[in-house]
Amino acid sequence: MSQTGEAEERGREVEPLGPGSLIWRYLGDMRYGMGGRAASTMQVMHPAIGAAVADEELSLFFKEPIARFARSMPLILGVVYDGPLAHATADELRDRHLAIKGTDHHGRRFHALDPDVFYWAHATFVHLLFQSIERFDHTMTGAERERLYDECRRWYRMYGLSERPMPEDFEAFQAYLDRMCEEELEATPTAVRGKAMFADPRTIPQNYLPSWLWRIVSPLPLRLSVFMSTALMPAAVRAKMGYTWTAADERRFQRLASVIKRLWPLLPYRLRYAPQARAAFARTR
């Protein structure tokens, strides 16, 4: 059996996540996307992922970043929310990485399905999920953290790849995250280029709006996105990327997060949850 076939077989041994899980309640919450740049920055600070994203034959990130995000997120969410189809979604997402390989800027060979590489990308989503809940919803209990982390482990196991790099519990995950941020991540050329692009909306390729209108409407939401994402980054990531974060910034963020906590339950349901989550809720009543 091929490596892909073996991964598919292992992934199918995992029962898909469903109603009653904490991850169903929170992953599709639109607040999860408010700090999305935190996860993407942490990903491309990994030398292998940074090299893959910089290669225009392997990634369209710098050609069409918004469209790439729009294509990727339904699959990422679908691994959790697609129910009977979740295994097929996990297979598709994993197999999209089969041809992604090359050499990073240190001259080291990489492959996107190397478990150490693929798990790091997953870990950034897990970090963002916990941060989003803690900062925009409520302070989790220890039992909630362990329960949600166990569900995140199940989420990763859907891909059928080696579980070797995956920490056993939430405390070990935090230690893993800290070590990666301190020792492995760096301000790769891709991360630096991405930071500059999102700091100036005029440099972001898009075909959704006329250029003149994009220049008018995009600066405020993009500045807000960078601000929110910087708040959710580990301190070591901010330091390596040259993002300043003062006590005054933290106070401003806490005030904004407090407003979000109060107002979020008052918003219409369709604005609070991603389409994949809404479809799953409707399918399971």
Tens of pLDDT, residue by residue over 210-227, are 989 989 999 999 999 999
Looking at residues 244-260, what average pLDDT do you find? Answer: 97
* pLDDT tens for each residue of 57-75: 878 788 888 877 888 899 9
Give CA–CA dist 162/7, Å, rounded.
Answer: 8
Closest to 125 (Cα-Cα) out of 191, 60, 177: 177
Residue 16: DSSP 8-state: P
Give CA–CA dist 101/114, Å, rounded.
Answer: 10
Residue 185: Cβ within 10 Å count: 25
138-142, 193-197, 233-237: least confident range: 193-197
User: What is the predicted pLDDT for the residue at 3?
Assistant: 62
Helix (H) or strand (E) holding 110: strand 109-111
Torsion on CA atoms 3, 9, 13, 18, rounded to nearest 10: 90
- Could you tell me if 50 and 185 are in contact, meaning their C-beta atoms sit under 8 angstroms apart? no
- Could you tell me if 42 and 233 are in contact, meaning their C-beta atoms sit under 8 angstroms apart? yes
Distance of CA 159 to the CA centre of its chain: 16
Closest to 231 (Cα-Cα) out of 92, 115, 159, 136: 136
Phi then psi for residue 103, to 5 deg, are -130, 130
Apex CA 42: angle with CA 36 and CA 47, to 5°? Answer: 140
Is the pLDDT at 260 greater than 90? The verdict is yes
Q: Containing domain of residue 166, as a range?
A: 3-283
Who's near 163: CB < 8 A, 6+ residues apart?
115, 153, 156, 157
- Could you tell me if 4 and 98 are in contact, meaning their C-beta atoms sit under 8 angstroms apart? yes
Is the pLDDT at 1 greater than 60? The verdict is no
Give CA–CA dist 231/252, Å, rounded.
Answer: 10
What average pLDDT does the structure give for the chain?
94
What's the domain count of the chain?
1
User: What is the predicted pLDDT for the residue at 2?
Assistant: 59
